[in-house]
Amino acid sequence: MKEYELFIGPQHPGVTGNMMYHLWVDGDIVTKAECNVGYLHRGFEKLMESRGWMQNVPLVCRICVPEPDVNEMAYAMAVEQLMDWEVPDRASYIRVIVLELARIAAYLMSIGSYAGSLGIYTLPQWTLGDRDYILDIFEQLTGARVYHIYIWPGGVRWDMPEGLPDLIEKTLSYIEKRLKLYDDVFFRNRVFFDRAAGIGKIPKNRAIEWGVTGPNLRACGYGYDVRKLEPYAAYGDMDFEVVKYPELGDFEVISDGCDAYTRIVVRRLEIDQSISMVRQALKKMPEGEHILKHPNWLKWKAPAGYAFSRVESSKGEYGYFVVSDGSSKPVRIHVRGPSYTHGINVAETILKGANIADVSQILFSLDVCPPDIER
């Protein structure tokens, strides 16, 4: 049979944003895949070198659009390492609340768009509508819906307004109620079982070597989570169990793991986990300062050295490598986005042998987000 070439993207609803896959296809089966990125390359790392430490905060959050707060957190942590700052306790708890709410919002979006790729259009309508209620919380807390610029080196920008804990609790119980509906419509749906089980398998013994992280790694049966391995913010005080295959709670284990089905179910279970963590943080949050006393924002200099910080996002592990030579501008900031490995090497390898109809759901189940590949 003759091979033919297929270009998916950048203008295509089946790829996860502005990126392109070049597929070689034999009949319905993909024989080779090549990823083409760079459509969103803004040269962040170059721009950050010409701006001061504080001026970089608004740039940093634009690296991951669905979940910007992890970037602010990772950058703030790296700068705090260089400056040798201790963040006030209250700020750490507020950070946990913000990060977990952002994680719920990002998971709702990724599950919704995954369901859309299977043709179940009810779920995106619901999840994206419900995600908006979380954005409303952010609006009250930070003043912005998408890019918050709230987590700063040294703490958070301002304290939590009065009455916000009640709104958060109200929203969380609403989302819990809605999650039951999602389960009926999608997670116990025959279409989902039949389409997703056994599709897009990452070989378990090579997952770590390939740089798979986050929910995708936990779906392979490794219980690794940066929040547990290297607790940052107030995650050390939180009580949670890492979700991993084959402990899928109420959900059926219908495959050997590592596939699209398990990846999505792990994400669904982590929404429950995040909800419980926000509640714990609200309960345990101490009184006190929310930010450190700073030197002049525009003039301060970071001591020379190398700092590295890692944060768990909804897509995987974020790493910030920050180099300073003791001046008021960084020498180099390098961002490790989780999609860098998932979207390029892992996707290129596991798309081989997949059916064309499954290409889109494999990409959505990996939750590839091009802005953090290209920066």
Partner 1 sequence: MGLFDGDIMKYEDWNKISRIASRKSLWMVHFCTGCGAIELPPVMTSRYDMERFGMGPMATPRQADVLLITGYLTVKTLKRVVNVYEQMQSPKYVISFGSCPINGGMYWDSYNTVKRLDRYLPVDVYVGGCMPRPEGVMNAFLELMKLIDEGKARGWEKYQKYYEQYKRNQKMAFNFEREKDEGA
Partner 2 sequence: MKALELIGKGEEMHGRAYIKSDKEEASSIIKKLKENGFDHFVMLSCVDWIDNNEFELVYHLWSYEHKEHVMVSIILPRDNPSMSSMHELFPQIETYEREIHEMYGVDFEGNNRLTPFMLEGWHDMPPMRKDFDSKKFAEDVFDSIPEIKEEEDEGI
308 binds, among partner 1, partner 2, none (CB under 5 to 8 A by kind): partner 2
Dist CA 83 CA 229 (whole Å):
23
Residue number with CB closer to partner 2 (198 or 305): 305
- 313, 325, 197: which is closest to 252 by C-alpha? 197
331 binds, among partner 1, partner 2, none (CB under 5 to 8 A by kind): partner 2
Q: Is 39 in the site for partner 1 (CB under 8 A)?
A: yes
Contact criterion met (CB below 8 Å) for 333 and 49: yes
**Positions that interact with partner 2 (CB under 8 A):** 37-38, 41, 43, 45-47, 49-50, 81-82, 208-211, 213, 222, 224, 229-230, 305-308, 310, 317, 319, 321, 323, 331-332, 334, 336, 340-341, 344-346, 349, 374
Phi (first) and psi of residue 202, to 5 degrees? -95, 125
Binding segment toward partner 1, per CB under 8 A, in 119-127, 238-246, 312-320, 323-331: 119-127
Residue number with CB closer to partner 2 (85 or 158): 85
Q: Is 145 in the site for partner 1 (CB under 8 A)?
A: yes
Q: Which of 23, 35, 40, 243 binds partner 1 (CB under 8 A)?
A: 40
Residue number with CB closer to partner 2 (157 or 310): 310
Would you give the distance in Å from CA 63 to the centre of its chain? 11
Residue number with CB closer to partner 1 (135 or 254): 135
Q: Closest distance between partner 2 and the C-beta of residue 350, in Å?
A: 12
Q: Applying CB under 8 A, which residues contact partner 1?
A: 10-13, 17-18, 38-43, 46-47, 50, 58-59, 62, 65-66, 109, 112-113, 124-126, 128-129, 131-132, 135, 144-147, 371
